[in-house]
Structure 1
Amino acid sequence: MTVFLAILLIAAMLATVAALVRGIVIFLRTTEEDLKGTGPSAAGVRSNKMMQFRIFFQALAIMIVVLILFVTGRT
């Protein structure tokens, strides 16, 4: 059970890093045209969505750590 949770934790951490990197790359590709437009640009919306995924994956990783501590009896 703990090995399975450890694998899930590693997957959640990797997903967090992937979402962070992808969000930063999308943010850095924002063009001057995107910045001058009215309302949110497509790149801005995608970057924001990736940061929301990052927060979700971070929360998931924290919940898995708490679950691992609970299962191993270290609460």
Structure 2
Amino acid sequence: MDEDKGVVRVYTGREVQVGILKGVLEEAGITSMVRDEFQASISAGFVNGVPSALDLYIQEGDLAAAEPIINDFLKNNA
């Protein structure tokens, strides 16, 4: 997955929830990518982001197929 072009953030949350949603999306054939901005910023020498929050990204072209899956996940895991 291209890390910058044509990707959209679809969820931000704790590692467990991000992992569950990532798995559900992958079962539906939707590739996703997890980013940890907090850890990345520490590695770069500054602090940015929230320590316990991870971002989940998918390809923009997969958004229509992913939206009902994400909405169902949010409804059942709020």
Shorter-chain TM range is under 0.3
Larger Rg: 1
Query: Which fold has the larger relative contact order, with Cα–Cα distance below 8 Å and residues 6 or more apart in sequence?
Result: 1
Higher strand share: 2
Higher helix share: 1
Q: TM-score, normalised by structure 1?
A: 0.24
